[in-house]
Structures are given as structure tokens and as C-alpha cells.
């Protein structure tokens, strides 16, 4: 089904590119949580599994939106005040730029929580990859190396690559409201609670960008080219700082 957008560009809705990580008992995890659990309800002679004699399949699902699979979070992730992602994300379609970046060895001033083994995504790398591209409201970052391991990887205690504070501030300066990345966090795994990239992207606490979101733990297959796409970003209607999400790309015709 081909539609024409308000900007006169055309997309084929019959050819979606799903860049979310499915949530099941084998999917990627982070932040030291156990695997998600999907299990039938049992009790008082009832079993929620047809294969075991039940009338219907009726499962409980136990998971953490930050620790299990693709999720979208709002400013409420880092504030004492409650902010819901369900209230933050009110539009779901955006023009998005997909870039592939090569994290590099951290070269900044040494701090106790920053080791020489750190890999970071710098402002210079973003400038190089964005170049003269037309930037919409969303930026999608695919980091190297990029393999299907990201679908099942346990990220806990891996000291993943992360955005520098300067890089996150640059993204905000570009006017990007929705940042998507294939790592568990835009910040360092162990940073002493500083959350420098989160705060820089949301411009917190000065003039906080209440309508901006960060989506983490996506996966963009290597055969998807960098460039501009039409993005559909959907969340579940959780009244929480974060929700499982399903970002889907469409190529322009």
C-alpha cells in the first residue's frame, strides 16, 4: 500500500523494516536483570495453556522495560518528578536519519569511572556521519561492530560504548527530538550516577525538553543502508517513564 505524505514523499506501507528486538525469554538483557519470563497462569484447577489442557493461552509476562529489549524512555527516567512516556510521545511518525558510527577509544581527561578501555561515540564522529544530510525529528544510531548478537546479548558488566556528553548535546542542538540507539544506554554502564548524555540530550535541568525521547536496544540489520527513512515509533500505553517499543522504518520511494 503506497501512501503520499504531507511532504509529498511516498512510502510503501507493505514493506516495513522492524528495528525492534523481540521480547521473549531469550532476548537481549541489561542492567543485571534475569531473563524475561512468560508463563501460563496456574491456580485453583486452572491452567492458562491449551497444550496442558487449558481452554485458552493466558500468560503472565514479567520483564523490566529498561532491561529487556527495545524500549523508549522519557525525561521521567532521570527526574524526581513523575513523567510518563505515554504522555510524552503523542506523535508517532517522523522523518528519521539512520547513521552508522564507529565508537573510538576514550581520549578525554581521565576520571575514576572512565578507564582507558572505554569506547565512546563522539561529536566529531556524529558530524562526519551526518555531514550534509537532511535531518528530521529523529536520529537512529547503529554502532559498530553490528551483528545479530545484539538480539540476544547479555549486556550486563560489558562496559558498552556510549555517547560523550558533547555528542548528546550536539544531537539536541540539531533539534532532534527522538534518539534511537542499538546500545543499552546512551551513558556509560558505571558512571557514578552522572547520566551526562541523558541530561545533555534532555537539556536537564535548565530548560528540559519534555517532548523528547530516547529509544535504546534497537537492532538495525547490516543490509539496511544509511539514509533518511519514514519512522513509525510505537509504544505500549504504560503510565511509566519507559515502555517497550516498536520502531519501524519505511523507505522513501
Domains of the chain, earliest start first: 2-22+65-251 (3.50.30.50)
Q: Give, in order, the Cα–Cα distances in Å from 2 to each of 93, 94, 171, 233.
A: 16, 17, 31, 19
For residue 99, list its beta bridge partners.
141
The predicted-structure confidence for 233-253, as pLDDT tens digits, reads as follows 999 999 999 999 999 999 999
Question: Residue 9 has what pLDDT?
Answer: 82
pLDDT band with cut points at 50, 70 and 90 for residue 222 = very high
Residue pLDDT, tens place only, 145-172: 999 999 999 999 999 999 999 999 999 9
Contact predicate 201/214, CB 8 Å: yes
What residues contact 104, with CB distance under 8 A and at least 6 apart? 119, 120, 122, 125
DSSP state of 202: H
pLDDT at 120: 96
| Residues 178 and 215: beta-carbon distance below 8 Å | yes
The DSSP line for 75-144 is: GGGS-SS---HHHH----EEEEEEEEE--EE--S--BTTB-TT-EEE-HHHHHHHHTT----SEEEEEES
Amino acid at each position: 500500500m503506497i501512501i503520499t505524505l504531507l511532504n509529498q514523499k511516498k512510502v510503501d506501507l507493505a514493506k516495513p523494516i522492524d528495528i525492534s528486538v523481540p521480547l521473549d525469554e531469550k532476548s537481549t538483557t541489561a542492567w543485571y536483570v534475569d531473563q524475561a519470563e512468560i508463563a501460563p497462569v496456574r491456580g485453583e484447577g486452572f491452567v492458562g495453556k491449551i497444550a496442558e489442557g487449558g481452554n485458552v493461552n493466558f500468560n503472565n509476562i514479567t520483564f523490566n522495560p529498561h532491561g529487556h529489549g527495545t524500549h523508549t524512555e522519557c525525561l521521567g527516567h532521570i527526574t524526581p518528578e513523575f513523567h510518563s512516556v505515554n504522555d510524552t510521545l503523542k506523535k508517532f511518525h517522523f522523518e528519521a536519519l539512520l547513521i552508522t558510527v564507529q565508537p573510538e577509544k576514550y581520549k578525554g581527561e581521565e576520571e575514576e569511572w572512565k578507564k582507558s578501555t572505554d569506547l565512546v561515540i563522539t561529536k566529531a564522529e556524529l558530524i562526519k556521519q551526518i555531514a550534509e544530510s537532511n535531518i528530521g525529528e529523529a536520529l537512529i544510531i547503529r554502532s559498530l561492530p553490528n551483528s545479530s548478537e545484539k538480539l540476544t546479548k547479555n549486556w550486563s558488566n560489558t562496559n558498552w560504548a556510549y555517547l560523550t556528553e558533547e555528542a548528546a548535546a550536539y544531537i539536541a542542538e540539531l533539534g532532534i527530538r527522538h534518539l534511537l540507539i542499538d546500545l543499552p544506554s546512551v551513558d556509560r554502564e558505571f558512571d557514578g550516577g552522572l547520566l551526562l548524555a541523558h541530561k545533555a540530550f534532555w537539556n536537564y535541568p535548565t530548560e528540559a525538553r519534555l517532548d523528547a525521547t530516547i529509544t535504546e536496544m534497537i537492532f538495525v540489520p547490516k543490509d539496511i543502508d544509511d539514509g533518511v527513512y519514514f519512522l513509525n515509533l510505537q509504544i505500549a500505553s504504560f503510565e511509566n517513564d519507559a515502555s517497550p517499543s516498536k520502531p519501524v522504518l519505511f523507505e522513501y520511494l
